[in-house]
Structure 1
Amino acid sequence: MIGIFIALLSGALMSVQGVFNTGVTKSTSMWVSNSWVQFSALIICLVTWFFTDRKSFAGILQVEPKYMLFGGVIGALITYTVIKSMAALGPAQAVMLIVVSQLIVAYIIEVFGIFGVDKQPFEWRRLLGMAVCIGGIILFKWE
């Protein structure tokens, strides 16, 4: 149950963050806004680290495979694409497309066992669920 609550909170925070970041971009620029987002996240992470686990940063050198360290690069690209999509489509439509894209890519990763994720069997009902989500977007956009 806690996992469901955390996932719902994550989705809500992502939507609010996207609106905030788009607003900051209106007063600055894309890359100033993106830099601020990443910098402020770094500060929060360092402060939280200081008051919680204080494990050595040297552990980062032990990460295998090394491509896993590109999460921050992907984070910057996520911030960029969320800002651009929200500015172009509005928050509701942008988030719907973002979530469906996340769902499809996550399912592909699971089914094929990409990036070291445990491989899961293909299930038609999950594909049908994604189709229903896509149908919902079409219905939402229908004028």
Structure 2
Amino acid sequence: MVMGLLLAMIAGALVSLQNIFNSNVNQRTGAWSATTLVLGMGFVASFTISLIVEGRATFALQNMQPWYWISGLIGVGVVICLMQSMRMLTPTYAISIVMASQIGFALLFDSLGWLGLEKVPFTFNQLLGVLVIIGGIFVFKLGGSRQAKLNTKPAGESL
């Protein structure tokens, strides 16, 4: 369990780091070029590491449901939508919304047992947890808006 928590925390840190890099690439090249670069480099890296670690097993793809093959297309949607939302919002606000959406949809998929997942009973505590996260996003956004207004008052004007 501890290792799972540690790996999840590392993944969160890596996603945040990747989003910063993606945003910078996006600002200099454009969304589709950035997506191509990011996913292309990811393909080369993961394919190379897979060949080193798993060897020929890299190509053992039998007994896989056909719809799982579209995972890469979903990845394109993730990267392009995230980069565009970060440009239109702020990185922290966009990532917060992505996380809340991810948790909400994961809860939905788990509760309904969709896409081959084992059905997990839906509880009020789970719903409350998602609502608390969404509430936190509102507090974050509204608090930031208030602070930004305070910081933009003309000099000499009292708060």
TM-score, scaled relative to structure 2: 0.85
Q: Tell me the SS of whatever aligns to 2:54.
A: coil
Show CA shifts across 1:51-87 (max 9, x none): 1111345422431x20011110000110001101111
Match of 1:133 in 2: 133
Deviation at 1:94, TM superposition (A): 0.9
Match of 2:151 in 1: none
Give 5+ residue unaligned stretches, structure 2.
147-159
Larger Rg: 2
Question: Are the counterparts in 2 of residues 113 and 119 from structure 1 also a CA contact under 8 Å?
Answer: yes
Match of 1:20 in 2: 21
Give 5+ residue unaligned stretches, structure 1.
none
Match of 1:117 in 2: 117
Residues 35-46 of structure 1: matches in 2 within 5 Å?
A: 35-46=36-47
Deviation at 1:3, TM superposition (A): 0.7
Show CA shifts across 1:104-128 (max 9, x none): 0000000000001000111100101
Aligned equivalents of 2:56 and 2:8: distance in 1? 26
Q: Give the aligned residue type for 1:100.
A: A
Deviation at 1:133, TM superposition (A): 0.6
Q: Which one is further off, 103-112 or 90-99?
A: 90-99
Match of 2:11 in 1: 10
> Structure 1 residues 90 and 12 mapped into 2: Cα distance closer, same or farther (>3 Å)?
same
Q: Tell me the SS of whatever aligns to 2:120.
A: coil
What is the aligned residue count?
142
- Relative contact order (alpha carbons < 8 A, sep ≥ 6): 1 or 2 greater? 1
Identity %: 27
Aligned equivalents of 2:121 and 2:47: distance in 1? 39
Match of 2:66 in 1: 66
Question: Are the counterparts in 1 of residues 31 and 80 from structure 2 also a CA contact under 8 Å?
Answer: yes
Match of 2:52 in 1: 51
Match of 2:156 in 1: none
Question: Are the counterparts in 2 of residues 15 and 91 from structure 1 also a CA contact under 8 Å?
Answer: no
